[in-house]
Structure 1
Amino acid sequence: MEEEKRRLIMYEKLMAEIDLGIHAIDDSGKTVIYNQKISDIENMNPQEVLHKPVREVFKFNEGQGSTLHRAMTEGYDFRDEKQTYFNNKGVEITTVNNTFPVMHHGEVIGALEVTKDITRLKRLVQENMNNGTRRYRFQDIIGRSEPLEEVIEHAKRATRTNSSVLIVGETGTGKELFAQSIHNESSRSAGPFVSQNCAALPESLIEGILFGTAKGAFTGAENRPGLFEQAEGGTLLLDEMNSLSPDLQSKLLRVIQEKTVRRVGDTKERKIDIRLLATMNEDPVDAITNGRLRKDLYYRLSVVSLFVPPLRERMEDLAPLSEYFISKYNDLFQLEVEGISTEVRKLLASYHWPGNIRELEHVIEGAMNLITEEKYIEFTHLPLQFKRKRPRPPEHNEIFHEEESTPLLKDYLFQQEKTFMQRVLKEHNYRVQETAAAIGISRQSLQYRMKKLGIQKIRE
């Protein structure tokens, strides 16, 4: 292979894989290099940009021309230059650029720009500033089953203090509703409620979002308060907190202990007055065992622990939840659906709902998308993917007895653990401390597993 062809192949591979936007223009101002990353940042097809004048493709605010053109015409480098402009669809883009004139034999033949996208960071900050507009309270939590009522009662008691609360529950069980209800019925209700899903952010962004940034901390960094400062006087909810890296969990622990926060790149400690709530969608014991949660952070956060039951453990709430979602989508879709058919009701009651309340809502929304003038949701209206799902395993199934199906692994393990725990507890006369020592786990872990498995403590 010719040396020049080999270099071209390597160059094309580099342009495709590098995680920075690369944009270059020639001396006429037309784009000659436009890699995949800059295409993603600017939401532009390369064919819309290549071989066209930059100033005809993009729009710039008055007095803020293209940094590429400035570098070419002025002959200067521009380092860490923040730029806000608009693509050909009118979408605002904010980037931080390093831009250089390209010289050949002492003449400027074009300009090259290396771009870092901060549009997403700006949007995340703005979304977090707006999160406090939602106002859920305990009366907005639908259902009156015994497991749900118990958690609501414990959550109401937690509104009287400023202690940290850890809310544990499977995906789709409504953990944020409990968090907002605690905030809105506490003495901090007049303050902000700031929420952040920790799993939705890359490692490179989340530290700055949580703790804030000081100008010059990294390329494009400005003096900006983090979520802890934004939540001053109110409540900060860290959703899926166990997705944070161990290093960030360590920094989070320091903030909780010292009640001060230091912005990234800063030396100043700032006092904070917030209440911290956190959610997890897995067993804390499993998260600690597998290294996804620091034990010392868990003890700090779980001053109050709430375990939100999955839908399969509160099936009495299936009917009122269904009625609520039907009413919601009647309004949205301008329909007059009165309910669900007997066949569908039995099918819903026989299902184990791994996606919990969120999955139920999606099923009803999907069904109502297929309704025209019918008054009831029938089997034919159910989404195809739901029709194919098997009913709950036999130990949970009170309706389908004609044919026993193979239980799902999750349900099988659940039942096996429950049988084992009941046997060992009985052997030790339901003495929790003694039973925990016998099977090699802590008292707290045993109490959590008893609650998770639905085992009542008969006596201590």
Structure 2
Amino acid sequence: MNAKTLESLLIMYEEILEKIDLGIHVIDSNERTVIYNKKMREIEGMGIEDVLDKNLMDVFDFGAAEESTLLQVLKSRESIQNVKQTYFNNKGQEITTINHTFPITENGTVIGAMEIAKDVTKLEKMIHENMSKKDEIRYTFDQILGQSPLLKEAIETGKRAARTASSVLIIGEIGTGKELFARSIHHDSPRSEQAFFSQNCAALPDTLMETLLFGIEEQPDAEGRPGLFEQADGGTILFDEIDSLSPALQTKLLKVIQEKKVRREGGNTDIFVDVRILATISEDPIDAIAAGNLRKDLYYRLSAVSIFVPPLRERKDDIELLTSAFIDKYNHLFGMDVLSVDEEVKNYFQQYEWPGNIRELEHVIEGAMNLMDHEETISFDHLPIQFRNKSVNCGLSNDLEKAEGFLYQSDKAILPLDDYIQEAETYYITKALQHHDFNITKTAKALGMSRQNLQYRIRKYNIGKV
């Protein structure tokens, strides 16, 4: 091989090392770094000049109880694979990697060691943060404020469900208080003294979510970790936004619910667990199934009990009560003495559709009180600017007339499309039921939907005999 060809090969090897999405670190027999690729520099947060041609122990701190895997392999002449290592760079920043480390030999003599590293620093932190989300505050149904019939029905369903160990699916728009229902069910149940964990299904990537739920089996050189199911044994896990969980993990979750046992990643032993499953979803579960976001069999398993939490626009009589509660809350937090909202604000609150539901109302009150000095009443000018703009854009006014029909709120404003569709659907289903003398089977067939789908919409829209 001539010099030019050799030079070309070296350029190719260097290009590959720089582009590969794994950290590569190579030391020679004198423990000095000879190869240190771009990904490794990113993982360890250092420049090539900080490490290259320097003794490994002069750059990194591995702590008194842990030795570098590179040095272990250099001394033992044996490979070490799939080992987690935590150490510190020259700035004192903690780094955690999963390493595959191999000796480099020439004619039977070890001339160095090579390490292939995968960064798990952020993943470790995310797992730790999620593992710590054990609920320590006791929430009860008494903390769910409101007097509307739809809300009272949801609360009664929740109280009845608390007495059993059945799975519960809580359905409601974002900001309606679904998690408060879930926590109230747990703390009103025989499991109230046991663990409660809330896990947002959209918060983590699949690989990390699987580790979080099922845990990792202990390896000879790697620490084991129990998953949420093991930690919650005897208690409850809430899967928030269950339709955000990948289909593959939904399948595994269904298996755990059915068999009441889990197996850690890398393990071969089944671990029996007694965990109650609660789940929330922000859209119509039938729509989620049709869109492929929710497995039908998991839906059937979860919806042994279904609770429908009404949106704020369907319980506007509760707005005044909720407004007072949020004023009291932020009076305490901010050291203020606000008493109420004025009549103009009350009117706006009643006319507004509250797409963000109770959460939006709370944010509006908090924002308004941040803009106040020593006033005792929240006026329109105190409301957050984005809310005031939204009110103007929606055509709200003090003299907004009572809605008539299901197409127009008044001669000035058209119903939002979602509201129009809901009213039209309610009207059409009611007429179909009347036409078939409220026979569910015949009506469902005529509408081209399943009995379950029809019954869900009857409950959702509170359709009864007229």
What TM bracket, shorter-length normalisation?
0.7 to 0.9
Give the count of matched residue pairs. 449
> For residue 182 of structure 1, what is the amino acid of its counterpart?
I
Aligned to 1:400: 400
Residue identity opposite 2:372 in structure 1: I
- Equivalents in 2 of 1:50, 1:420: separation in Å? 72
- Residues 335-362 of structure 1, C-alpha deviation per residue, up to 9 Å, x if partnerless? 3332323333322322222222222222
Work out whether residues 25 and 40 of structure 2, in 8 Å CA contact, stay in contact via their aligned partners in 1: no
Conserved? CA contact 2:41–2:48, under 8 Å: no
1:227 corresponds in structure 2 to: 228
Aligned partners of 2:19 and 2:38 also within 8 Å: no
Check the 8 A contact 2:217/2:225 in 1, yes or no: yes
State the alpha-carbon separation in 1 of the partners of residues 149 and 183 from structure 2.
21
Report if aligned partners of 2:345, 2:379 keep a CA contact under 8 Å in 1: yes
Aligned match of 1:454: 462
1:25-44 equivalence runs, <5 A: 33=36, 35=38, 39=42, 44=45
Name the CA shift for 1:425/1:226 in 2 (closer, same or farther; >3 Å). Answer: same
Cα separation, 2, equivalents of 1:23 and 1:148: 60
- Which residue of structure 1 lines up, in the alignment, with residue 339 of structure 2? 338
Q: Structure 2 stretches of 5 or more lacking a match?
A: 1-6, 402-409
Runs (5+) with no aligned partner, structure 1:
none
Q: Distance in 2 between matches of 1:52 and 1:322?
A: 66
CA shift at 1:251, angstroms?
A: 2.1
State the partner residue of 1:363: 364
Q: Given the alignment of the two structures, is residue 166 of structure 1 paired with residue 169 of structure 2, yes or no?
A: yes
Displacement, 1:304? 0.7
CA contact (8 A) 1:31 1:49 kept: no
Larger radius of gyration: 2
Q: Which moved more, 1:92-101 or 1:257-266?
A: 92-101
Corresponding residue of 1:445: 453
Q: Does 1:432 align with 2:432?
A: no
Query: How far does the alpha carbon of each residue in 1:111-144 deviate from its partner, in whole angstroms, 9 at most, with x for none?
Result: 6552230553454355434413122111111222
Q: Is the 8 A contact 1:432 1:443 kept in 2?
A: yes
The corresponding residue for 1:196 is 199
Counterpart mapping for 1:25-424 below 5 A:
33=36, 35=38, 39=42, 44=45, 59-64=61-66, 66-67=68-69, 78-86=80-88, 92-99=94-101, 113-117=116-120, 119-121=122-124, 123-125=126-128, 127-216=130-219, 222-390=223-391, 400-401=400-401, 404-424=412-432
SS in 2 for 1:276: strand
The 3 A distance-change label for structure 1 pair 107 and 388 is: farther
Does the 8 A contact of 2:130 with 2:199 survive in 1?
no
TM-score of the aligned structures, taking structure 2 as reference length:
0.81
For residues 393-424 of structure 1, the C-alpha deviation after alignment (integer angstroms, 9 at most, x for no partner) is 79x99953476234333223222222222222
Cα distance change on mapping 1:422 and 1:57 into 2, 3 Å: farther
Alpha-carbon distance between aligned partners in 2 of 1:182 and 1:246, rounded to the nearest angstrom: 27
Deviations 1:208-234 (A, max 9, x none): 2222222359xx864322222211111
The verdict on how the C-alpha distance between 1:63 and 1:257 changes in structure 2, with shifts beyond 3 A counting, is closer
What CA distance in whole angstroms lies between the structure 2 residues aligned with 1:447 and 1:303?
14
Partner residue, 2:3: none
Q: Secondary structure at the match of 2:163?
A: coil
Aligned-partner SS, 1:210? helix
Aligned letter for 2:19? L
Distance 2:193 2:158 in 1: 19
2:165 & 2:337 partners in 1: Cα distance? 45
Q: Is the alpha carbon distance of 1:211 and 1:74 closer, same or farther for their aligned partners in structure 2, counting shifts above 3 Å? A: closer
CA distance in 2, matches of 1:70, 1:327: 62
Larger mean Cα displacement after TM superposition, 94-103 or 413-422: 94-103
Q: Tell me which moved more, 269-278 or 56-65.
A: 56-65
Matched with 2:19 is 14
Aligned partners of 2:92, 2:344: CA distance in 1, in Å?
A: 50
- Whole-Å Cα distance in 2 between the matches of residues 360 and 104 of structure 1? 71
Q: Which amino acid aligns with 2:150?
A: P
Following superposition, the deviation at residue 295 of structure 1 comes to 1.5
Segment of structure 1 superposing worse, 250-259 or 401-410 = 401-410
- Report the Cα offset of residue 388 of structure 1: 2.5
Q: Pick closer, same or farther for the CA change 1:113–1:265 going to 2, 3 Å.
A: closer
How far apart, in 2, do the equivalents of 1:425 and 1:328 lie?
A: 45
CA distance in 1, matches of 2:346, 2:182: 31
Q: SS state of the match for residue 119, structure 2?
A: strand
Distance 2:111 2:124 in 1: 34
2:348–2:397: 8 Å Cα contact kept in structure 1? no
* Partners of 1:135 and 1:60 in 2: CA distance: 42
1:235 partner amino acid: T
C-alpha change, 1:8 and 1:292, in structure 2 (3 Å) is same
Deviation at 1:29, TM superposition (A): 6.0
- Matched residues, percent identical? 47
SS for the counterpart of 2:366 is helix
Question: SS at the partner of 2:134?
Answer: helix
In 2 relative to 1, CA 257–73 (structure 1 residues): closer, same or farther, beyond 3 Å?
Answer: closer
